[in-house]
Amino acid sequence: MAVSDDYLDYVLDQLECAGEVIPRKMFGGVGLYLQDIFFALIAGDILYFKVDDSNRQDYIAAGTGPFRPFTEKSYTMQYYEVPIEVLEDREAVAIWAGKALEVARRRASLRKKK
């Protein structure tokens, strides 16, 4: 699940219009934070955004699927692969990142209430 420096630089450059994205290395991948909220991750040079019922269908319609940290197991996380055509379009990726940020905010506020 290593992340190449070139891919990380490319993703950060593409996400520049969404705001200041802070990368943090974690478990062989990279977690991405926007406004101090963990909203995305990179694993194996693939970008994944946080999803819930409000935006999951966008990813399914685009033909992408969930992040599977353990390929031999069926366990998935609530992060879906960002379609390459979205990542290559700065305006589109900013919109999708904004949706992922809202999902992550909702999840964080639910955790705080518990």
> For the domain that residue 26 is a member of, what is the CATH number?
3.30.1460.30
Task: Return the pLDDT at 76.
Answer: 67
Q: Among 28, 31, 24, 62, which Cα is nearest to 48's?
A: 31
> In the chain, how many domains are there?
1
For position 79, what pLDDT does the model report? 94
| Residue 102 DSSP symbol | H
Q: Write 66-69 long-range contacts (CB < 8 A, 24+).
A: 67/41, 67/43, 69/1, 69/27, 69/43
Q: What is the pLDDT of residues 1-36, one digit of tens each?
A: 689 999 999 999 999 988 899 999 988 899 999 989
Domain boundaries, position 46 = 5-113
State residue 108's pLDDT score. Answer: 82
What pLDDT digit, counting tens, does each position of 56-76 carry? 999 999 999 998 876 666 666
